A and B are shown apart, each in its own frame.
Chain A
Amino acid sequence: MVPDALSALRLTLLVASVSILLVLPLGAGLAYAMARRSFYGRSVLVALTSLPLVLPPTAVGLLLLRLLGSEGPLGRSTLGVDLGLLLTWKGAVLASSVMALPLVVRTARVTFEAIDPRLEQMARTLGHSGVSAFFRFTLPMARRGLLAAAILGFTRAVGEFGATVMVAGNIQGRTRTLAGAIFSAQQGGRDREATLLLIAAVLVGFVAIFASERLAGVPSVRRSGLR
């Protein structure tokens, strides 16, 4: 019972960590593009990245299944290679990444929008290329907001169940995360195990909330200037 719970906790932290490592750079990049650039299809991109926020998680899961199923656009028959995502922990990473992306993008976008774009121009006149200006000035100015985005995305990934269970299943020791383990323990009437898992989930949640409150409590970089 305890080893099973520990394995679920370990897998949950692994899946959430890998998800956020994937989603943060991608989400920050998308958020930056949305905040600073106008380009063809921008509003479509905004809608697409927000979609998992408004869809039921099981709908997202079904969508991913259709994409990844052997006949789907990303399936084995179409690609010629097996991405190895269905019913594996990598699939759980994919599902929770997709679910976490909107929160990361939204938080990061607000952060970037709050930074005066002229500061980046200022850095350009001081001899920094566009890339250097982004990494040496904009990114450090956004660090607090991006950290908050990461924590938000991480907690979303920890809590994700609906999409994950459809793509990765709920396989003990392989794809059974905290959410799945709690569901199975309750369904099987294993009350003590369910309680143990509940405590683990509450602890993870508390740590995340404290961390994000501490970050949110301190205002992030504001629009500077006296104009």
Chain B
Amino acid sequence: MFAAASLEGALVEVAEAFGESGGLPITFNFAASNALAQQLRAGGRADLFISADEFWMDFVDEENRLVPGTRLDLCGNRLVVVAHPDSRFSMERLEDLAGGDFHHLSMGDPDAVPVGRYARAVLESVRVGDGDLWSKIEEFVVPAVDVRAALGLVEQEPRAVGIVYRTDVHRQSKVRLVFEFPRSRGAPIRYPAALVQGGQSNSGPAEVFLSFLVGPVATEIFRSWGFEPL
């Protein structure tokens, strides 16, 4: 199973619950959704793919690697701004990011990684003075290969702030939650899932697991990790 890195904690727990209920063991490949999509396009073999955004799921779909009719949305998420525990950075509204007291803005690569793409889309929609917020802070951006790497930089560097998912700091974290992106801003963050063409156990166990993922046990686990039900 190929899955977005932000799902790692929750999915491992879901897989354990699946195993306790008699399901087969599941092998995961967690990475940024764009990296997984590129691997699938290059012929990587998987039964199931969960992307952190529609874009990369569409990308795989266009390559005709998805089993038609199996695509569904799993859960939702929110963006947050985090900082090092020693940092005194604070903000009230998104516009405060412009001119904020930080050296680096750590986020997923805004050209590729979903968490970066979402953040960039929101920031581009915010008007500040004569331009948009993105163009004001773009020069501080340190692109990371996935959301974990973006979080890692903030954990190490007191002068960096980061934009990550709320679920990354929901249970425990070495960073401080500074600001939650308002729900009204930008497109909703959704995790689409689908069976992949050419998988080994598509019509059997993979399909069973996919329906387990939308069942009550998995939904409760996702909720406990801070994901939003749809």
Contact = CB atoms under 8 A, between A and B. Distances in A.
Interface of A: 65, 69-70, 86-87, 169-172, 183-184, 186-190
A87 B106 CA distance: 11
Contacts of A183: 145
B145 to A, nearest CB: 7
B34 interface: yes
B67 interface: no
A11 to B, nearest CB: 15
B111 interface: yes
A169 B32 contact: no
Contact of A187 (B103, B112, B153): B112
B143 A171 contact: yes
Contacts, number: 48
A222 B143 CA distance: 50
A152 to B, nearest CB: 29
Contacts of B113: 187
The 10 closest A-B pairs by CB, nearest first: A188-B112, A188-B111, A169-B142, A187-B112, A69-B156, A70-B158, A187-B34, A187-B35, A171-B142, A87-B142
Contact of B111 (A65, A86, A184): A184
A103 to B, nearest CB: 27
Contacts of A184: 109, 111-112, 143
Q: How large is the interface on B (under 10, 10 to 19, 20 to 34, 35 or more residues)?
A: 20 to 34
B224 to A, nearest CB: 31
B39 to A, nearest CB: 10
Interface string B19-50: 00000000000001011011001000000000
Interface in B92-116: 103-104, 109, 111-113
Which of B32, B113, B156, B158 has the most chain A CB atoms closer than 10 A to its own CB?
A: B156
Nearest to A186: B38
A184 B34 CA distance: 10
A187 B157 contact: no
15 contacts: A65-B156, A69-B156, A70-B156, A70-B158, A87-B103, A87-B157, A169-B142, A170-B145, A171-B141, A172-B143, A184-B111, A187-B32, A187-B35, A188-B34, A189-B34
B111 A190 contact: yes
Nearest to A69: B156
A171 B59 CA distance: 25
User: Which secondary structure dominates chain B's binding surface?
Assistant: mixed
Nearest to A180: B143
Given A184-B143, A187-B32, 4 more contacts: A69-B156, A187-B34, A187-B113, A189-B34
User: Which secondary structure dominates chain A's binding surface?
Assistant: loop
A70 B155 CA distance: 11
Interface in B192-214: none
Contact of B59 (A65, A70, A87, A189): A189
A190 B158 CA distance: 33
Contacts of A189: 34, 37-38, 41, 59, 112
B142 A187 contact: no
Contacts of A171: 141-143
A9 B73 CA distance: 41
B144 to A, nearest CB: 8
Contacts of A190: 111
Contacts of B158: 70
Interface in B155-169: 156-159
A61 to B, nearest CB: 12
Contacts of B104: 87
Contacts of A188: 34, 109, 111-112
Contacts of B145: 170, 183, 187
B161 to A, nearest CB: 13
A57 B206 CA distance: 37
Nearest to B86: A70
A172 B142 CA distance: 9
A69 B157 contact: yes
A188 B117 CA distance: 11
Contacts of B142: 87, 169, 171
A153 B144 CA distance: 27
Contacts of A170: 109, 143, 145
